[in-house]
Amino acid sequence: MPLSEHEQRLLEQIERALVDDDPKFASTVRTGDRRQKARRKLQIGIGLVLVGLVVLVVGALEFWPLGVLGFLVMFAGAVLGILNYKNATGAVQPGAAPGPAGRPGPAQGKGPKARRQPLKNRLEERFRRRYDQ
């Protein structure tokens, strides 16, 4: 949905105020997209996994230390990919967004408070809810 003219003017005013207040931060925000850097790292990770897999297979057939090196390269690529997956895809972490009125959601199986409960208590609560239905 496109912005109205009034909203565009407000956005431009906010941008100018940001540049005036903190030009270094404004240039950092303007120049880089974090997702783009994370996507690049994710692509590198996938490439390392593929190269490591090839080196692992060749090493398993020819020279076992080469296979170990291939496994380490493959593992490093997998770690790099996993660490950058959420930022690259823009996936929202569960519990990151606040509930209505800026308060976190209730602790009834959802929200950050539910994750602080021990697993045993959560499972018991879930069982009770199913049994009551």
**b vs e for 22-47, b when ≥16 Cβ sit within 10 Å of the residue's Cβ?**
eeeebeeeeeeeeeeebbebbeebee
What is the rounded CA–CA span in Å between residue 67 and residue 58?
Answer: 7
Full pLDDT tens readout for the chain, 133 residues:
677 888 888 888 888 888 888 888 777 776 666 678 888 888 999 999 999 999 999 998 988 899 999 999 999 999 998 888 887 776 655 554 444 444 444 444 555 554 577 888 888 888 888 877 7
Mutual angle of helices 64-89 and 34-61, in 10-degree steps = 160
38 contacts: CB under 8 Å, gap ≥ 6: 84, 87, 88
E strands in the chain: none
